[in-house]
A and B are shown apart, each in its own frame.
Chain A
Amino acid sequence: MAKVALEQLNKRYGAVPAVIDVDLAVADNEFVVLVGPSGCGKSTTLRMVAGLEEITSGTIRIGGRVVNGLAPKDRDIAMVFQNYALYQHMTIYDNLAFGLRNRRVPEDTIRREVARAAEILGIGDLLARKPRQLSGGQQQRVALGRCIVRHPQVFLFDEPLSNLDAKLRAQMRIELKRLRERVATTSIYVTHDQVEAMTLGDRVVVMRDGRIQQQASPLEIYSRPANRFVAGFIGAPAMNFVDVTLARKDGRLAAEAEGLRIRVPDEQAAVLERQPAQALALGVRPEHVLIGDPHPENGTGFDAAIEVTEQLGAELLVGVRVAGTIVIASRIDPWAKLALHQKLRLSLDPRGLHFFDRESGEALR
């Protein structure tokens, strides 16, 4: 039985829909990440689970029981906010104890729980200080501590790392993973950062304009995106898209654009033949754009001129002009001698070709 179940969840502000027909089942101890651009409805969904937003229609179940209409304090949840939301004038100890004290938990139990949380999070020597004396990372750990002491059924995270600088964010990501090992709890995590989504989630739920676009494991989302939006949103540098039309040549299916003719691999050709539209978009990730054509028999080679290079130190990114757009190739030897306007022979890895319907954006698999 799912720990958290969202059934046909909808939220409207007046006539404006914010969350549309969301169905999501979170298993016990599963860490689910809701990711998407600003305004996609991920935070609203999370806040409905928390009880901070009213539900327009649909049901939310936590631990099997319907929580629609229950106050946040009665849902057995804990939440970490983007702005930490610590109580500024209380000591860290009191911050952690506040929720327990309000629930009339005896003081010695509180002491035990706070000590345990402090030990797990490494904030034991900060207990007597006030929040403004702590760094951002420390404050966020206290916010996590506030959740742990209560042993709730569900942890909710609302973009908790967005206020931290990049380096600290990377550190906290690792800490969060370590925390999960010690305190495994069903979690729903909201972020706009796809790196956080991929590294933290057992399952990633991509949202856009209020709807779920795809929910799957990180690798599945990466390697088999359900539509063009998911494909372009997940992965950095982003997937390249080229508008192509299908044509037959020598009895084989090819994807064509100006200056480009790519042979469609057999498994995909079978799918593409069956569907009616001829106007498609070809998606290929930068790591699947190769310099040179080591396997000409694949029929995926093409020529192009270099328009831009970006030196990253660990790799070189090269952008070439193909059919009116720039296609980025990554993982190139940083020492390679490549100059602007140099003409190159490139090829695409046939295992990395994705085809999308140009109108609907759906992936054709």
Chain B
Amino acid sequence: MAAREMLARLGEKERFALLLIAPAATVLVLFQIVPIVIGANASFRDWQLYNPKETWIGLAHYRYILSDPVFLTVVLPNTFLLMFASVAISLVLGMALAHLLNWNFRGHTLVQTVILLPQMIAPVIAATSMRWTFNDQFGVVAAFLRLVGYGQISWLAERWPSFLIVLFTDVWIWAPWFALILLAALKSLPREPFEAAQIDAAGRWRTFTHVTLPMLRPVIGVCVLIRSIDAFRTFDQVWVLTGGGPARTTEVFSIYAYIETFVNLDFGRGSAAAIVGAVIILIVAWTMYRAVDRLANVSR
């Protein structure tokens, strides 16, 4: 009754606005918000997939997860390490690529086309090709190592070499994204500050640090924010490359939640893990958003 009154009081403009978002809002509610609510609900219940008792157990799942040594000492550090390392390296590599492409040398369209590929193919395919390339017996990298007499590296048999491969794959996929966005930003920069720097006898590195970088700060901030949030949720590459192994040592948060639900068949605990991750990324995103906002305003 109150809702109908409210609706009647809305003007034509408001009704049009609501109509515009009605289909999207409906799908969003039904297929994103409702499942999340169900998941949140399940996280407080004893809910095995083979025996959905659904009895309320309060924060038991959360207590388990937050005291699970695997979660605390392996999964969370892995996830954050992957996030920071991948974003940092992709940013630096992407910045270098953007500058290189900005020079408009004679093959630059070819190079630009090539670096677009990692972004266009499926992450699972990228991971598959990396897995094959780094195959410790038959891969091309193994052949190269044999050639230089280094010997064999069992990449996917130990924690840190595996992690390196996962990181390498992630950077392989995402450095081009940084490169293309930074290239567009570079091209849009005004040329006068650079000319003034030329007249002021600034060397190439000084021009980069004192003129280019400050002007790019807003773009860099937004890119880092978006990419960090995404990196936290990585699943495909890790699943295909290591499955979280060997022995759960390269597990990241999304895989942890998956394993709880579909391997341990504990839907309640899996949902709790998913919620914990969601809360963590929310806090991280919020903090980063504030920092980026400040950065952008300072450079304006």
A residues near B (Cβ < 8 Å) are 50-52, 71-73, 77-79, 81-90, 98-99, 102-103, 132, 146
Contacts and interface: CB of A to CB of B under 8 A. Distances in A.
Contact of A88 (B195, B197, B202, B215): B215
A74 to B, nearest CB: 8
A50 B199 contact: yes
A148 B299 CA distance: 26
Contact of A99 (B199, B215, B299, B300): B199
A87 B211 CA distance: 7
B211 A79 contact: no
Contacts of B298: 89
B12 interface: no
9 contacts: A51-B198, A71-B198, A72-B198, A73-B198, A77-B199, A79-B199, A83-B192, A85-B192, A102-B206
B300 A102 contact: no
Interface in B275-300: 298-300
B202 to A, nearest CB: 5
Interface of B: prevailing SS: helix
B200 interface: yes
Interface string B126-165: 0000000000000000000000000000000000000000
A98 B299 contact: no
B102 to A, nearest CB: 18
A99 B215 CA distance: 19
> Which of B190, B197, B200 lies at the interface centre, i.e. has the most chain A CB atoms within 10 A of its CB?
B200
A88 B203 CA distance: 18
Contacts of B195: 50, 52, 72, 79, 81, 85
Contacts of B211: 87
A111 to B, nearest CB: 18
A98 B199 contact: no
Contacts of A103: 201
A191 B210 CA distance: 30
B196 interface: yes
A52 B198 contact: yes
B299 A89 contact: yes
Nearest to B213: A89
B200 A73 contact: yes
Contact of B199 (A73, A82, A87, A90): A73
B196 A90 contact: no
Interface string B206-219: 10001100110000
Contacts of B192: 81-85
B58 interface: no
Nearest to B206: A102
